[in-house]
Structures are given as structure tokens and as C-alpha cells.
Amino acid sequence: MLLSALMNTAATAPTGMSAASLPNVLTYLRILAVPAVVLCLFLIEGDAGRWWALGVYIAACFTDWLDGFLARVWRQQSLLGRMLDPIADKLLVGTTLLMLTHNHTIDRVNVAAAVIILCREILVSGLREFLAELNVRIHVTQLAKWKTTLQMIALGILLAGPAGDKIVQATTGLTNAVSGSGLAMLWVAALLTLWTGYDYLKAAVRTAMER
């Protein structure tokens, strides 16, 4: 029903590009969600902090889809939006990974998965900046989209972490089910990160050699 309502609204929405357009405003809100997640985990004690952080994180992820959808159907795609959208995504992912490492949800060998994801984000950002100077644009592959989706879901599950574990254990008797599944998904995302990062690097090196 929500998608149908959005489509109906899109049919009559005004077109145009503005820094204050709704898609851009949603991106601004996603950037503001980054310190909000941090404050929830720092200032709200116990499981409540995790649930509040998860709520903010889910809202931010929803705006990630919604701003792109509205920008397309309302024809409000802009250079500002194209610049800020990936920045907002990387800020959200990077900050969430750091906070989950800080509170030991991601610990021991699992920190390696977080490092892989962060290094890939930095690598791809650098490659895009380099290729932009050559007027070459890297197109996002379907595999990269799956990686991003899996990564965002994994981080959401890990934000629930021990708080979610308690609920699952009380209802099913399983221990560490939420945290364990989140870490497993994070590792799968990290492996896909290596794969897609190599694809981007290979394309950038080939372009540099040809120029």
C-alpha cells in the first residue's frame, strides 16, 4: 500500500531540482542519523540504547531507498544529491561499524570483517575520485547492490545484538542467535566486498593504463 501511495503521489508531484527538494532533505536527514545512532548507544544505557539506535538506523536505511525513488519518479535528480547520497551511506556504515566495535558486538577475529568493509569503502571512494578526473564513471554492479543490502541488514541485526539475543533465547532457547547470524552475514558481506572492490580496482587500473 505504501508503494502504491508513493506512485500515486509521484504522478502529480512537481518536477525540478533544488537543494531543498524532498529527496535531498531525506539525504540530509540520513546524515543527521549518523550522530543520532552514536548518541543512542552512548547516552541510553542497556538494551534500550540498542533498540533506539536500531530504530534510527532502520529509518535512515528507509530514507536511502526513498530519496532515490522519489528523485527518479519526480525527476529531481541533482548533482548535489549524487554527491551527498554515497557520502551519507558511507558515514552511516562506517560509524555503525566503529560503534559496534567499540561496544564489543564486533570483536576478536570479526573485527577483520569490519576492517575489510571500511578499507573497501575508502578504496572505491578514491577510485571514483580518480576516474572522475578522467570523466569516467563507475557503474554499480548488481553484485555490489546485493553486497550493500546484505551489509545494511547485517549491521541492523548487530545493532540489536545482545538485546535481540535475550528475546530469542527467552522464546526459543537459542543462545547468541541474533549476534551470531549478524556476524555471519557481516562476513559474507565482507567477502562480497573483496570481490566487488577488486572489480572496481581492475576497471580503474585498466582505464589508467589505456589513458
| DSSP tag of 15 | P
Above 70 in pLDDT, residue 153? yes
Rounded Cα distance, 9 and 2, in Å: 11
| Average pLDDT of the segment spanning 31-42 | 96
What average pLDDT does this structure show over 144-150?
90
Convert the pLDDT of each residue in 74-124 to its tens digit. Answer: 777 777 767 888 889 999 999 999 999 999 999 999 999 999 999 988 888
Task: Write down the pLDDT at residue 17.
Answer: 53
* Angle, vertex CA 148, rays to CA 146 and CA 151, nearest 5: 105
Tell me what the mean pLDDT of segment 12-32 comes to: 74
Give the phi and the psi of residue 139 in degrees, each rounded to 5: -85, 135
- Write down the pLDDT at residue 107: 95
Cα separation, 66 vs 72, in Å, equals: 10
43-81 per-position pLDDT tens digit? 999 999 999 999 999 999 999 888 878 877 877 777 776
